[in-house]
Amino acid sequence: MTKRIRQGAVIAVAGMLAAATACTGQQSTPPGFAGRQLSADGGGSGAGGGGADSARTFTLLASGDILPHSSVIDRAAADAGGRGYDFRPMLRDSVPAVSGADLAICHMETVYGEHGGPYTGYPTFKSPPEVAQALRSTGYDSCSTASNHTLDDGAPGIGRTLDALDKAGIAHAGSARSSAEAGRPTLLKAGRGKQAPKVAHLAYTYGTNDMPLPAGQPWAVNLIDRDRIVADARAARRAGADVVVLSLHWGTEWQDEPDEDQLALGRELTASVTGGRPDIDLILGTHAHVPQAYENVNGTWIVYGMGDHVSGAMVNHDGAQDPRGNESSMGRFTFAPPAKPGERWTVSKAEFIAHRFDPVTGRAWNLDAAVEGGADHRREARDRIRDVVLSRGAGQDGLVMGK
């Protein structure tokens, strides 16, 4: 299958040039775009949340946890035919949806080991860095990297992971190699040209499996804190973001329903407003291993949990192999520009795409397409995902199943 090359997606990191003088409190020159510029036109400077000037509808797609267990690593080795690791075949069926969006976001749950290994699966993960190239080949533009496994190999693991994503041309949010990197938002462009919409990607995790932050590096991983998230979202808006997207690694594993902490934090974050405009425009959840509901809260879509997009055969807390651990949804949201500058970009269409990773063949399948062939187990998985996704009334707010 030939992947369509997304010409419109521009990845950039906005430098936070917001230091105020001690005497006047005035800001220095407005924040602009720095770092990678992947567009052919090289455009991309300026600030201020372009509003009606950025009048271009765009689609944003997000998928669940990339969690390479040992069996997944072995499958990639087999697919490479003895020449390293090739994770592209297992994601091939995801290419049309991922590369078809203007922006595509993944969740890279694990850190990468050194080239050549050794690599490990559960409980302490070190994945082959070839995962990053497969994600880029599939069409991803940015990945959240804050999870309970971010510190599985300490600061070196973070460094290798972000270096590999940089090399592959994928932006990232949630972990950092320096305080400067941690202090600036990841800004993405949904299109080409100076007036293309700018999307901020922020990411945080509930914890790190009790692993301490590296000495002297409190900024290494973003931990969930309501006040910090709001402050970061507002800073991203000041840096020029038209849309602020938040990835949260949260929730209770193996629980279909969002837990009380998710519900409470979701209500608080979606209620946060500055100048009549919500601070956060979309929340994307990971961690629970199983698909969870979508819900429109205070006018903002929350995906409580997308499930594992790639993982080995999963065993739940009761010690039983649980097929839900290989089921997931992709969220696809179409954003329309505001009528007036400074107003909110709105979701004009909300969709989910049911997916299942087959741990036997090592392939992720779009279930809506797969069931057309008459596979009953795939139809059952699709229907189960649909029932969970719609369990909090998202259908009444316009969420539909996409292809």
Asked if residue 30 has a cis previous peptide bond (ω within 30° of 0), the answer is: no
- Residue 30 included in any domain: no
Averaged in consecutive runs of 10 residues, what is the pLDDT profile of the chain (403 residues)? 38 33 28 27 33 69 98 98 96 97 98 97 97 98 98 98 98 98 96 88 98 97 98 97 98 98 98 97 98 98 98 95 96 96 95 97 86 69 97 98 93
CB 386 within 8 A of CB 354: yes
Q: For residues 2 and 367, what is the distance between their CA atoms, to the nearest angstrom?
A: 20
Q: What tokens were used for 6?
A: 């997304």
The total domain count for the chain is 1
- Residue 320 included in any domain: yes
Task: Residue 216: give its domain's CATH number.
Answer: 3.60.21
Query: Where in the sequence is the domain holding 96, given as residue range(s)?
Result: 35-327+335-401
CB 269 within 8 A of CB 297: no
- Residue 387 included in any domain: yes
The confidence score (pLDDT) of residue 4 equals 37
- Residue 176 included in any domain: yes
Nearest to 266 by CA among 138, 363, 392: 392
The confidence score (pLDDT) of residue 374 equals 52
pTM for the model = 0.88
First to last CA, the chain: 17
- Residue 10 included in any domain: no
The confidence score (pLDDT) of residue 45 equals 29
The confidence score (pLDDT) of residue 76 equals 98
- Residue 22 included in any domain: no
Q: For residues 170 and 191, what is the distance between their CA atoms, to the nearest angstrom?
A: 16
- Residue 25 included in any domain: no
Tell me the one-letter amino acid at 269: L
Q: For residues 207 and 211, what is the distance between their CA atoms, to the nearest angstrom?
A: 8
Place of tokens 């290494």: 220
- Residue 23 included in any domain: no
